[in-house]
Amino acid sequence: MAILAPMLTMAFLLLMEAMSVSHGQLQVGFYSDTCPDAEDIVSAAVQDAAGNDPSILPALLRLQFHDCFVQTAVSWQGCDASVLIRGNDAEVNNNKHQGLRGQEVVEAAKAELEDNCPGVVSCADIVALAARDAVAMTGGPSFDVPTGRRDGLVSRLRDADVLPDVADPISLLRSRFSSAGLDDRDLVLLTAAHTIGTTACFFVKDRLYNYRLPGGGGGGSDPSIPAPFLAELKAKCAPGDFNTRVALDRGSEGEFDDSILRNIRSGHAVIASDAALDASNATRRLVTAYLGSARFAQDFVGAMVKMGTIGALTGDDGEVRDVCSQFNSD
């Protein structure tokens, strides 16, 4: 662990330097002159929503991840609020977005911002700021989010096909993250966002009742699940039960901490994509290294900031929407 810490510090500093070069128009405090209360307005909207429904906090974190993992035929087109657009062929209707929530919180913040600073703050930045606030409000680290994103001008159903899936094996997860400019460390850290929140039995059912071994064959339950935990999961998710909610981080779903990593290492990961981190030497080593490490929270922040730059539009690209669910031209 003594060797790991300086390496991670250097990686974080290099990340911030690279971001300032390749995404120079994203900067902390971007709205300090044009809309000085922007971040406070977003935080207030998140706080109000969480007061009525605390489960909205992990949903907002998931919303940013789903917004950023978008790829067209020629380039990454993420972090541009395209997931908020409504329409028959819009990105949000992709099956990868099942159960996505939090859009109404972004819209509430946007309405307040339009009253205070019309045409200034993008929906894409609201998504990023709301995710940041969700982490802090669940006991995670508070951190600065570089802003200055613009909203995208397209939202296509199939562009979300690249989004990682709960059934993806570790090889595919690593490939999907790599193509987005994210490495194994980012994969582990961003997966650790599952330290808060729940999932529907729909996303667990195949692992419990219709598991397929790599290369085909199998059936039944995932043999990697310890028997007592398998019984626990089956008691919560009966055959045909798609809607019951199960904590992603067994025993600590309401608090941002590293227990999700401990669960992954002990075989108590709920969804297959979390469990997959233990199937690769590279990701397993990282999971083990972050357990109990003071570096976990800081490096999670670095991964979040890095993810938030995927395909980000700045300057004169894109637009600042008046309403987050529709393009200004509609």
Under a CB-based contact definition with an 8 Å cutoff, are residues 170 and 280 in contact? yes
Q: Is 79 helix (H, G, I), strand (E, B) or coil?
A: coil
Cα angle 104-106-112, degrees, rounded to a multiple of 5: 105
66 is catalytic: yes
165 is in an annotated binding site: no
Dist CA 163 CA 173 (whole Å): 10
257 is in an annotated binding site: yes
Q: What is the DSSP letter of 194?
A: G
Q: Is 147 helix (H, G, I), strand (E, B) or coil?
A: strand
Dist CA 314 CA 296 (whole Å): 30
Q: How far apart are the first and last CA of the chain?
A: 54
Under a CB-based contact definition with an 8 Å cutoff, are residues 105 and 137 in contact? no
Token pair belonging to 63: 């919303």
Annotated catalytic residue: which of 23, 66, 97, 268? 66
Amino acid residing at 245? R
Dist CA 255 CA 196 (whole Å): 6
195 is in an annotated binding site: yes
Length, in residues, of the chain: 330
67 is in an annotated binding site: yes
Dist CA 204 CA 210 (whole Å): 10
80 is in an annotated binding site: yes
Catalytic residues: 66
Binding residues for substrate: 164
Binding residues: 67, 70, 78, 80, 82, 164, 194-195, 249, 257
Binding residues for Ca(2+): 67, 70, 78, 80, 82, 195, 249, 257
Binding residues for heme b: 194
